């Protein structure tokens, strides 16, 4: 079971595992309409996700070293307002599920006004590297990195 100090249902705001990066929109991020091309948001989310994984000490090299790959198997994006050239954006990421999968919620907002531009989430699952076998429960190493007791087998 989960740690009693961690709420059963986490949100971007309530998660104890959060990170934030600030980026500036570059010219090469724009589409012909002079707004950020929708695919670039995935790259922005990856920057925030890497900062989050670094924060818990379980970035991609550490995952590989622990014997697990964590592919993204699901991605949802909801665009509210476009980002434009030169704009500074803040990308927040937070772990909201970890027991059977690693679900991370994101928010992209204007760094100055705080206006929400995009909400998103990714789901990753643990895969044993040598066997290429998906795990249906997150391995103990993730629980340990989150500072939680792992579930009994």
* Pairing mode of beta strands 68-69, 102-110: unpaired
C-alpha–C-alpha distance, residues 146 and 140, integer Å: 10
The CATH H-level superfamily of 18-145 is Hotdog Thioesterase (3.10.129.10)
Q: What is the greatest pairwise CA distance in the chain? A: 54
Note whether 80 and 119 are within 8 A (CB).
Answer: yes
C-alpha–C-alpha distance, residues 151 and 114, integer Å: 38
pLDDT at 151: 79
pLDDT at 98: 95
Nearest to 95 by CA among 13, 5, 34, 29: 13
pLDDT at 1: 42
Each residue's pLDDT tens digit in the chain (153 positions)?
Answer: 445 566 667 999 999 999 999 999 999 999 999 999 999 999 999 999 999 999 999 999 999 999 999 999 999 999 999 999 999 999 999 999 999 999 999 999 999 999 999 999 999 999 999 999 999 999 999 999 999 998 766
């Amino acid at each position: 079971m989960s740690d009693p100090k961690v709420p059963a249902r986490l949100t971007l705001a309530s998660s104890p595992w959060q990170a934030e990066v600030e980026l500036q929109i570059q010219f090469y991020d724009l589409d012909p309409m002079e707004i950020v091309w929708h695919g670039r948001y995935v790259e922005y989310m990856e920057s925030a996700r890497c900062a989050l994984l670094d924060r818990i000490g379980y970035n991609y090299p550490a995952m590989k070293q622990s014997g697990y790959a964590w592919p993204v198997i699901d991605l949802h994006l909801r665009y509210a307002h476009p980002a434009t050239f030169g704009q500074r954006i803040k990308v927040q990421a937070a772990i909201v599920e970890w027991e059977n999968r690693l679900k991370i919620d994101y928010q992209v907002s204007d760094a100055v006004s705080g206006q929400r531009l995009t909400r998103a989430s990714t789901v990753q699952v643990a895969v044993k590297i040598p066997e290429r076998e998906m795990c249906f429960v997150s391995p103990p190493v993730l629980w340990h990195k989150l500072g939680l007791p792992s579930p009994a087998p």
